[in-house]
Every structure is written in C-alpha cells, then in structure tokens.
C-alpha cells in the first residue's frame, strides 16, 4: 500500500546517516521527558504513601533513601493491592479471560474472511472491506444505548460474555484488514503452485498461507489484545462487579479523597504493564493495526 515501512530486513540507507551528537542527545532528552509519567507511576508504586507525595520527585529505589533523588524501596503497596479483600486478582483474571476469548473469536472469524478477501479476487471484496472499516469507525456512543437496554432485558449485564461479544466486534475489522494485508504479501506464485498440485481451499489456507503469515498472525493478536485490555467505555457501561475488568478497578482511585498515590501507582503498574510489554514486542505492527493495514 502506501509504504514499505520498517521491515526487519530494511537495507541500511546511506542517507539515514549518523547525525551530529546534539541531535542524539536531544532525542534522548525528549524521549525521557515523554516517558517520565510512565516511569514515575512505576517507581511510585514502590514508595511509602508518605514518600509518594514527597518533592522533589524521587526516582531511585534504595534501602534507606540515603542519597539525592532516592527513596526507600517497599513492596507494601503491592501487598495491599493484592490482598484478598481488594479482589484485584479477580479483576485481572476477568481481563485475561475476556481478552483471550475475544481474541480467539476474532481470529476464528477474521482468518477465513481475510483469506477470502485477499485470495479470491472479486468485485464485491472492496465493498465488504469498506463495510468492515465503517463498522470500526462507528463510535461506541452510537451503539451503547440499545446495547445497554438489550443487555439489561436479556440479563446480560455484568456477564463476561457481554464484553467478549463487544471486544470481538471492536477488533474484528482491525484483524480483517491487518490479516488481509499480510495475506496480500504472500507471493502469488506460491498459491498458483498449490492449485497446480490440486490443493483445495482448506489445504491452501492451513498448510501454505497461514504458516507463511505466522508473524502477522501473532502481531494481529497482539494489537487486538492491546485494544481489548485497555478498553474502558464498554466495560464501564456493561459490567459491574462479577465480570469487571482491570480498568474498572482503577475507578476506585478516581474518587479517593485521601491521597493513596502509592497504591494507585502499584495498581496502575500492574494494569498497564502486560500491554506495554506486548506493545513493545509488537511495535512494528502497531501502525499497521491502527491504520487498518494502510501504512505498513
């Protein structure tokens, strides 16, 4: 499509050359400033509540907080958040379950669909692709009211299946567009060779095409997991306690009158870390997912 992008094999361009030292230093300074809020949330989780409010901000964990910018390291906040009465583990398990189940459902529907759209060239393909695109651009607030009313009438409020259904529909268009763009990259000769050998569609898909796009498959699953894990709006409106996911756990800190920043930071770290790590691993595919495969 419009770009070649970062492939791992991209040749080293002679023009993208080393630049003067100050440009590298500037890039590092900007990156550290941009990253600071994340770092600060992370380290604050290991402070005592009192130290969490201390200024100037401390960022180096030590045993006694003896030198500048350092604080005494403690894991008491993690212990407090993970204590049985706060139920964090149940929120976390719900998130894992919801993300995994919706990821599986998305893949079950998106793989055959993307394969058909990529390999069986027909006039209707374009319309179907753009239909999926338009469903992605339908804002959640445009559908939430009927969904809430229907879920209420069907007694589906606060059931895990409700969020699984919503996250599947939210990620389905992304997965179809991404997977199609990966299938498009499989050389045409490979498929032609299969057909000469008399392979049927199923054999083509499972023994030839899918193995060739395994990295793309993993990337797509990662991208879908990131969006589902972080999703807040549907969770807030459609589940309450039984099926509540990690973002809902964080609401407790929105209203807190006492300043429980260290506990907020510990919970926030556990909430964001899984997906930040997955995102780092999938960063080369992130833009492809967000742009529906248009930018590679």
Partner 1 sequence: MALSAPAANATRIPILSGLFDWVRGNLLLAPALIYAIVITQAPFLLTIWFSLQKWNLLRPENSRFNGIGNYIDLFQTDEFVSALINTVALTASVVLISLVVGLFYAELVNHRFPGRGIVRTLLITPFLVMPVVGALGWKNMLLNPIFGVLDWLITSLGGPRVDWFAQFPLPSIIIIVIWRWAPFMMLILLAGMQALSDEVREAGRVDGATAMQEFRFIVLPHLRRYMQLGILLGTIYVLSEFDSIAMTTQGGPGNATMNLPYLIYRTVFYSYDVGHAAAMGVVVVVLTFIFATYLIRMLGRLMEGNR
Site for partner 1 in 41-60 (CB under 8 A): 41, 44, 53, 55-57
258 binds partner 1 (CB under 8 A): no
199 binds partner 1 (CB under 8 A): no
Q: How far is the CB of 171 from partner 1 (least distance, A)?
A: 11
Residue choice 75, 79, 83, 130 for contact with partner 1 (CB under 8 A): 130
Q: In 159-270, at which residue ranges do the beta strands (DSSP E only) sit?
A: none
Count residues binding partner 1 (CB under 8 A): 107
Q: How far is the CB of 90 from partner 1 (least distance, A)?
A: 18
CA nearest to 266, candidates 252, 280, 245: 252
Asked whether 51 and 76 are in contact (CB, 8 A), the reply is no
Q: How far apart are CA 80 and CA 47, in angstroms?
A: 13
Name the β-bridge partners of 60: 70
Q: How far apart are CA 280 and CA 284, in angstroms?
A: 9
290 binds partner 1 (CB under 8 A): yes
69 binds partner 1 (CB under 8 A): no
162 binds partner 1 (CB under 8 A): no
Task: Indicate the Cα dihedral angle 205, 166, 133, 129, nearest 10°.
Answer: 30
Q: How far apart are CA 175 and CA 222, in angstroms?
A: 10
Q: Which stretch binds partner 1 (CB under 8 A): 62-70, 74-82, 146-154, 210-218?
A: 146-154
Residue choice 87, 169, 199, 210 for contact with partner 1 (CB under 8 A): 169
Task: Indicate the Cα dihedral angle 215, 220, 222, 226, nearest 10°.
Answer: 160
Query: What does the DSSP 8-state code read for residue 8?
Result: T
Q: How far is the CB of 209 from partner 1 (least distance, A)?
A: 12
187 binds partner 1 (CB under 8 A): no
Closer residue to partner 1, CB minimum distance, 210 or 278: 278
Alpha-carbon separation of residue 264 from 18, 113, 181, 219 (angstroms): 42, 42, 40, 30
Closer residue to partner 1, CB minimum distance, 223 or 243: 223
The first and second tokens of residue 115, run together, are 């394969």
Residue choice 69, 79, 150, 240 for contact with partner 1 (CB under 8 A): 150
193 binds partner 1 (CB under 8 A): no
Residue choice 82, 96, 133, 186 for contact with partner 1 (CB under 8 A): 133
Q: How far apart are CA 169 and CA 4, in angstroms?
A: 29
Asked whether 252 and 32 are in contact (CB, 8 A), the reply is no
Closer residue to partner 1, CB minimum distance, 122 or 242: 122
Residue choice 108, 154, 161, 193 for contact with partner 1 (CB under 8 A): 108
75-104 residues in contact with partner 1 (CB under 8 A) are none
């Amino acid at each position: 499509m419009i770009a070649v992008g970062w492939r791992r094999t991209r040749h080293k361009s002679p023009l993208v050359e080393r630049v003067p030292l100050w440009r590298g230093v500037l890039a590092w300074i900007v990156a550290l400033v941009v990253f600071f809020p994340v770092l600060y949330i992370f380290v604050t989780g290991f402070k005592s509540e009192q130290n969490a409010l201390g200024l100037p901000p401390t960022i180096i964990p030590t045993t006694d907080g003896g030198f500048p910018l350092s604080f005494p390291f403690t894991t008491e906040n993690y212990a407090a958040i993970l204590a049985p009465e706060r139920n964090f583990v149940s929120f976390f398990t719900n998130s894992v379950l919801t993300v995994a189940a919706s990821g599986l459902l998305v893949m079950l529907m998106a793989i055959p669909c993307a394969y058909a759209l990529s390999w069986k060239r027909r006039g209707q393909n374009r319309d179907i692709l753009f239909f999926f695109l338009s469903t992605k651009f339908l804002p959640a607030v445009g559908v939430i009211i009927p969904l809430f009313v229907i879920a209420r009438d069907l007694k589906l409020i606060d059931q895990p299946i409700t969020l699984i259904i919503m996250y599947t529909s939210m990620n389905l268009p992304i997965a179809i567009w991404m997977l199609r763009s990966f299938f498009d990259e499989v050389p045409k000769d490979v498929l032609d060779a299969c057909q000469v050998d008399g392979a049927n569609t199923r054999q083509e898909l499972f023994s030839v095409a899918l193995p060739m796009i395994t990295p793309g498959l993993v990337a797509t699953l990662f991208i879908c997991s990131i969006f589902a894990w972080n999703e807040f709006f549907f969770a807030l409106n459609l589940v309450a306690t039984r099926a509540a996911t990690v973002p809902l756990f964080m609401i407790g800190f929105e209203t807190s009158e006492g300043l429980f920043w260290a506990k907020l930071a510990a919970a926030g770290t556990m909430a964001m870390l899984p997906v930040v790590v997955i995102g780092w691993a999938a960063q080369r595919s992130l833009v492809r997912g967000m742009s529906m495969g248009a930018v590679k």
